[in-house]
Structures are given as structure tokens and as C-alpha cells.
């Protein structure tokens, strides 16, 4: 998640310095407040690991934005963090907007920031989505709270 998993020969304490490491989960954002619920759940799951300080940030419409999120981590003593783009594709927001926003966040916070690849570029994430999709296809009915249109 926040750090490369240590090998057996490596001092584990080097990788688990929560006070110095951060994670910014970066999502698009929406005008609809309910849209962020899955991201809040994801953040809660990440925080259970207690490996690093984690926070959500949004590109548009919601707060905190990336600059404010980085400043919040800096206030907590974080000196380096990784930004994980919660996007299935690496389109304009990931390849165009995010590098500029990350540079602004670096300058404003003083944190050493690294941008990870978009989650949709990860084979494990794609496998999980494929498994979910094929399981849904096997079901005769899919449970949903929404009415069919």
C-alpha cells in the first residue's frame, strides 16, 4: 500500500515509519455528495493498516483538493507521500492534470510526492474487476436498490 513490502533481510522498521510516510488517494470528484461514499470506505480500509497517514483528495468539485491534502499531511509531520490515482484509465486527468497538481502540491507542502500509476493499470485491480464482472454475469438477478428503467 504505502511502502514496498520488506524482504526478510531488511529492517522492517525502515518501512513502517508512519510519522514520515503518507498516502493520497486521488479521485476525480463530483457535485453529488453521495458519489464519494465508496472512496470514504476505501480510505477507511487503508487506514486500518496503520502503515502510513492516508487522506483522500479530489481533482474537482470536492474537498480537499490535492494541494490542501498535501498540506494536511505536512502538518502531521509527513515528509514523503505517494499519490494513487483512483482512475481506471490514464486519460487527461491522470496524464495531464495530475502532474501539474502534484507539482503545485509539492511546492505548497514541501512534501516529496511520487505519483503511482492509475489503479486501472494494475493487473491485480483488473483481475478483481474481471472476477466481479464474471460473477455478476453468472447471477440470474443482480441485487440493486435502484429501480429498473
What beta strand segments (E) does 1-149 contain?
21-27, 53-58, 80-85, 112-115
Cα–Cα distance measured from residue 115 to residue 82, given in angstroms and rounded to the nearest whole number:
6
Cα–Cα distance measured from residue 20 to residue 24, given in angstroms and rounded to the nearest whole number:
13
Sheet of 112-115: strand order equals 53-58, 21-27, 80-85, 112-115
Give first-to-last CA distance, the chain, whole Å.
39
Q: Which of 3, 18, 28, 42 is catalytic?
A: 28
What is the crossing angle of helices 66-75 and 98-109, to 10°? 30
Residue 28 is a catalytic residue: yes
Cα–Cα distance measured from residue 135 to residue 19, given in angstroms and rounded to the nearest whole number:
40
Task: Report, as residue numbers or ranges, the catalytic residues.
Answer: 28
Amino acid at each position: 500500500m504505502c511502502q514496498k513490502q520488506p524482504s526478510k533481510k531488511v529492517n522492517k522498521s525502515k518501512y513502517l515509519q508512519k510519522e514520515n510516510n503518507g498516502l493520497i488517494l486521488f479521485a476525480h470528484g463530483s457535485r453529488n455528495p453521495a458519489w464519494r461514499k465508496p472512496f470514504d470506505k476505501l480510505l477507511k480500509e487503508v487506514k486500518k493498516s496503520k502503515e502510513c497517514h492516508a487522506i483522500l483528495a479530489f481533482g474537482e468539485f470536492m474537498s480537499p483538493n490535492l494541494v490542501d491534502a498535501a498540506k494536511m499531511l505536512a502538518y502531521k509531520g509527513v515528509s514523503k507521500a505517494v499519490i494513487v490515482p483512483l482512475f481506471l484509465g490514464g486519460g487527461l486527468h491522470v496524464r495531464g492534470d495530475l502532474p501539474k497538481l502534484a507539482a503545485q502540491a509539492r511546492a505548497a507542502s514541501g512534501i516529496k510526492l511520487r505519483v503511482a500509476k492509475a489503479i486501472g493499470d494494475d493487473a491485480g485491480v483488473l483481475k478483481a474487476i474481471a472476477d466481479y464482472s464474471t460473477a455478476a454475469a453468472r447471477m440470474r438477478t443482480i441485487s440493486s436498490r435502484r429501480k429498473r428503467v
